[in-house]
């Protein structure tokens, strides 16, 4: 029998039918929606008089457009308020569970589904958001879709797709103590570029990922799309099962035992063949930072910006106000954002709190802490981290996507640099003219304390 | 969806690599609940300055160039899954985008909106860009039936790939919902037999 990859096993078990010489119909177990990419899909179904086929397999939340201050008050921005209200109406009309503003489970869609136990190994999961790849950390096939596809899933719980090719990224060896999952994924993208994953589904393999927490695995899988891959997956194991057990929607008792037995069959067969494969040595990875306007433009924090002769590269450095060959160490930074679906889970904030405890942020810095969900916000409170952040002069906000894409008021001013734990450093991503440097929560914390970029590895050694 | 069979048009060159969907349509314009008017904000921050005045050097503001074909650098449409990017391009009047590489989600979104993404070789992309920059009145000819893109009055022509199912959809103006809804019986039967369906939520 042909050896199968983790991806093959999950994909093949969800194929409903094949169009001759065409795509396959893939069944979707779980659909997540939010306020920005769903209204036009609901409208389309209504226009065509098609009912929502499986409302119980949809979960909604409001995250992209919400304010991170005074969430108990109506949203000030008319358009944003209308969009969030539209989501509420659409969910009520169609019998869809909504964890909206004010609900104890509200938060960034890619933070809440895992923490509620909705995301499970072996399932297919989609959302109108490219960072849906996050959920692949559980060994599920999870990917972002456009609004037309949101409508398709509403109408049929299925999508018409061509099976992507398979890619495996192996990282083995021992990571240095100060190297985080964010550094691992920024390193991988800096090495293979922003489009080498296009057309592929990626599996991350090797002891580095096996030894990572679920939070770390989610950070890695989250950024799969930044190398072009529709999704990223990590084989489920005891760490996965332990994370899921006891969560609100996790299976219990006999059902859990049965599911775990099934989940254990999912990892790629030993001799499974991938269409493309990369190997990296963990010892080569150091704390990373980006200097340009796509996530592939990353360097070790102590390296100099490379010298590349290319018009698009020049345009990018021009936007960032950096020069080829220069070092980023000691560059003054006035904004630090710690949040987003990449790094807003409790583990991220523990790292930050541990570093800044007893320290003060630099006077020039505005430092935002934006928890990924109401539950993370509660954990921050319960673990006593609030006091640490406040004492250090960090501002704690309420959950939402916030300054990752600056749809709300959380914007970085034009021309300013922001060291951000988010996933994209595109032009204007954090506000018109804003300049984003992507980094780990630890590097972001250190930047906030110093008011400039420092060599974190030296400091911790 | 509008049918697409053939197209002859001049083209607008945008020889920048890795154009992400945040540039095509910035997030602050995603707050609406319909699909109308996104063309006004297409490439907003490259097209207009802080005072909302057109930036004359940007190709879409340069009267030299016109047409319903956009020719862009490698890896077009990377980043966010926002279908608003496809809506902005079609609302502005583009029917085709030519590049040497498209990001997956953008490509699917474009096809679902009757916007044809054509992948050409890097060499052919360079030829097209040089030609339209030197002679902006040059027409490109797209023949979807035969899957060719040609530069008018030259011998330059290239075959392009398109999924055969998507080609039928484009030519006939069909979309995927019709197909899926028509197969509901099969989908329901699959649900009954499949073990992986989540039952806990």
B79: chain A residues, CB-CB within 8 Å: 130, 225, 424, 426
- Nearest CA of chain B to the CA of A457: how many Å? 30
Number of H helices, E strands in chain B: 8, 8
- Nearest CA of chain A to the CA of B13: how many Å? 14
- Which residues have a Cβ under 8 Å from the Cβ of A390 and sit 6 or more positions away? A396
> By CA distance, what is A404's nearest residue in B?
B27
Q: Are B25 and B88 in contact (CB under 8 A)?
A: yes
Residue contact B17–A312, C-beta within 8 A:
yes
The one-character DSSP state at A298 is E
Please state whether beta strands A124-127 and A141-144 pair in parallel, antiparallel, or not at all (unpaired): parallel
Of the candidates A13, A144, A262, which has its C-beta nearest B81's C-beta? A144
- CB contact, 8 Å: A405 with chain B? yes
pLDDT of A151 reads 98
B175: chain A residues, CB-CB within 8 Å: 148
- Mapped onto helix, strand or coil, the DSSP state of residue B104 is helix
Mean pLDDT of B104-119: 96
Q: What is the mean pLDDT of chain B?
A: 94
Tokens 């991220």 correspond to A348
- CB contact, 8 Å: A249 with chain B? yes
Q: What is the mean pLDDT of each run of 10 residues along chain A (461 residues)?
A: 93 94 94 98 97 98 96 94 97 98 97 98 97 98 98 98 97 95 98 94 98 98 96 98 98 95 96 97 98 98 97 96 98 98 98 97 98 98 98 98 96 98 98 98 98 86 50
Query: In chain B, at which residue ranges do the beta strands (DSSP E only) sit?
Result: 6-9, 11-14, 69-72, 96-99, 116-119, 140-143, 148-151, 157-159
Closest C-alpha among A407, A400, A341 to residue B27: A407
- Nearest CA of chain B to the CA of A406: how many Å? 7
Mutate to test the interface with B, among A57, A262, A408, A426 (most CBs of B within 10 A): A426
Backbone angles phi, psi at B91, to 5 degrees: -65, -35
Of the candidates B27, B81, B187, which has its C-beta nearest A146's C-beta? B81
pLDDT of B201 reads 36
Mean pLDDT of B31-39: 95
Entry field: residues in chain A: 461
- Nearest CA of chain A to the CA of B175: how many Å? 9
B163: chain A residues, CB-CB within 8 Å: 22-23, 162
Residue contact A146–B108, C-beta within 8 A:
yes
- CB contact, 8 Å: A240 with chain B? no
Closest C-alpha among A287, A243, A292, A275 to residue A454: A287
- CB contact, 8 Å: A120 with chain B? yes
Task: Give Cα separations from A214 to A142, A265, A347, B10 (angstroms).
Answer: 15, 19, 10, 51
- CB contact, 8 Å: A216 with chain B? no
- CB contact, 8 Å: A102 with chain B? no
pLDDT at residue B129 greater than cutoff 90: yes
Of the candidates A50, A228, A424, which has its C-beta nearest B103's C-beta? A228
CB pairs under 8 A between A and B: 207
d(CA B92, CA B43): 10
- CB contact, 8 Å: B73 with chain A? yes
> By CA distance, what is B108's nearest residue in A?
A146
Q: What is the pLDDT of residues B155-198, one digit of tens each?
A: 999 999 999 999 999 999 888 998 999 999 999 999 988 755 44
pLDDT range class, residue B1, cuts 50, 70, 90 = confident
Tally of CA atoms within 13 A in the half-sphere of B30 that contains its CB = 28
Residue contact A426–B79, C-beta within 8 A:
yes
Residue contact B163–A162, C-beta within 8 A:
yes
> By CA distance, what is B182's nearest residue in A?
A156
- CB contact, 8 Å: A260 with chain B? no
Residue contact A428–B165, C-beta within 8 A:
no
- Nearest CA of chain A to the CA of B10: how many Å? 24
3-state helix, strand, coil in chain B (%, to 5): 35, 20, 45
- CB contact, 8 Å: A330 with chain B? no
Start-to-end CA distance of chain A, whole Å, equals 51
As given in the structure block, the two tokens for residue A273 are 């063949």
d(CA B48, CA B61): 9
> By CA distance, what is A319's nearest residue in B?
B46
Residue contact A148–B176, C-beta within 8 A:
yes
pLDDT of A177 reads 87
Entry field: residues in chain B: 201
> By CA distance, what is A54's nearest residue in B?
B188
Residue contact A43–B34, C-beta within 8 A:
yes
Residue contact B177–A156, C-beta within 8 A:
yes
Task: Give Cα separations from B74 to A98, A160, A209, A261, A416 (angstroms).
Answer: 39, 26, 31, 45, 28
B101: chain A residues, CB-CB within 8 Å: 195, 198
């Amino acid at each position: 029998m042909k050896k199968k990859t983790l991806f093959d096993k999950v994909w093949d078990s969800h194929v409903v039918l094949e169009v001759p010489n065409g795509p396959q119909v893939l069944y979707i177990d779980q659909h997540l929606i939010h306020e920005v990419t769903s209204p036009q899909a609901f409208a389309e179904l209504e226009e065509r008089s098609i009912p929502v086929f499986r409302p119980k397999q949809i979960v909604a939340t409001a995250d992209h457009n919400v304010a991170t201050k005074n969430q108990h008050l109506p949203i000030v921005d008319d358009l944003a308020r209308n969009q969030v209200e539209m989501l509420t109406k659409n969910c009520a009309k169609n019998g869809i569970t909504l964890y909206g503003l004010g609900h104890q489970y509200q938060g960034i869609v890619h933070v809440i589904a895992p923490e509620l136990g909705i995301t499970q190994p072996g399932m297919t999961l989609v959302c109108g958001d490219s960072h849906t790849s996050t959920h692949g950390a559980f060994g599920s096939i999870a990917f972002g879709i456009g609004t037309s596809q949101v409508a398709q899933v509403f109408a049929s719980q299925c999508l018409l797709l061509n099976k992507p090719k398979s890619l495996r990224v192996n990282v083995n060896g021992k990571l240095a103590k100060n190297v985080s999952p964010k550094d691992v994924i920024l390193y991988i993208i800096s090495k293979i570029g922003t489009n080498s994953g296009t057309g592929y589904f990626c599996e991350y393999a090797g002891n580095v990922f096996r030894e990572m927490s679920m939070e770390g695995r989610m950070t890695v899988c989250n950024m799969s799309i930044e190398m072009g891959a529709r999704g990223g997956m990590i084989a489920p194991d005891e760490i996965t099962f332990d994370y899921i057990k006891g969560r609100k929607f996790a299976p219990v008792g006999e059902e859990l035992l049965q599911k775990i037995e099934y989940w254990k069959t999912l990892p790629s067969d030993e001799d499974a063949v991938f269409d493309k494969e990369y190997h990296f040595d963990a010892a080569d990875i150091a704390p990373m930072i980006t200097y340009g306007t796509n996530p592939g433009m990353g360097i070790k924090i102590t390296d100099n910006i490379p010298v590349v002769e290319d018009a698009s590269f020049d345009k990018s450095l021009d936007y960032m106000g950096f020069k080829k060959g220069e070092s980023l160490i000691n560059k003054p930074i006035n904004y630090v954002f710690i949040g987003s679906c990449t790094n807003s889970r409790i583990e991220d904030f523990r790292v930050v709190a541990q570093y800044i405890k007893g320290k003060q942020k630099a006077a020039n810095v505005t430092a935002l802490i934006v928890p990924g969900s109401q539950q993370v916000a509660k954990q921050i409170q319960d673990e006593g981290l609030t006091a640490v952040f406040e004492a250090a002069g960090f501002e704690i906000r309420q959950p939402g996507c916030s300054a990752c894409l600056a749809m709300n008021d959380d914007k970085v001013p034009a021309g300013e640099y922001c060291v951000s734990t988010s996933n994209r450093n595109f032009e204007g991503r954090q506000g018109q003219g804003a300049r984003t440097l992507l980094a780990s929560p630890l590097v972001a914390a250190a930047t906030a304390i110093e008011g400039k970029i420092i060599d974190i590895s030296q400091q911790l050694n | 969806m509008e049918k697409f069979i053939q197209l002859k048009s001049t083209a607008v060159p945008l020889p920048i690599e890795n154009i992400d969907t945040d540039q095509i349509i910035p997030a602050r314009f995603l707050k609406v609940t319909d699909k109308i008017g996104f063309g006004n904000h297409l490439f907003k921050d490259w097209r207009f300055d802080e005072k909302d005045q057109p930036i004359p050097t940007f190709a879409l503001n340069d009267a030299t160039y016109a047409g319903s074909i956009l020719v862009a650098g490698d890896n077009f449409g990377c980043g966010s899954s926002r279908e608003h990017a496809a809506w902005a391009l079609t609302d502005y009047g583009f029917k085709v985008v030519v590049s040497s590489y498209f990001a997956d989600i953008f490509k699917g979104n474009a096809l679902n909106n009757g916007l044809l993404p054509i992948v050409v070789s890097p060499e052919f992309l360079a030829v097209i860009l040089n030609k339209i920059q030197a002679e902006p009145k040059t027409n490109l000819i797209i023949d979807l039936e035969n899957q060719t893109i040609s530069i008018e009055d030259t011998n330059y022509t290239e075959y392009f790939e398109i999924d055969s199912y998507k080609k039928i959809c484009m030519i006939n103006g069909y979309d995927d919902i019709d197909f899926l809804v028509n197969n509901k019986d099969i989908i329901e039967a699959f649900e009954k037999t499949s073990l992986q369906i989540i039952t806990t939520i």
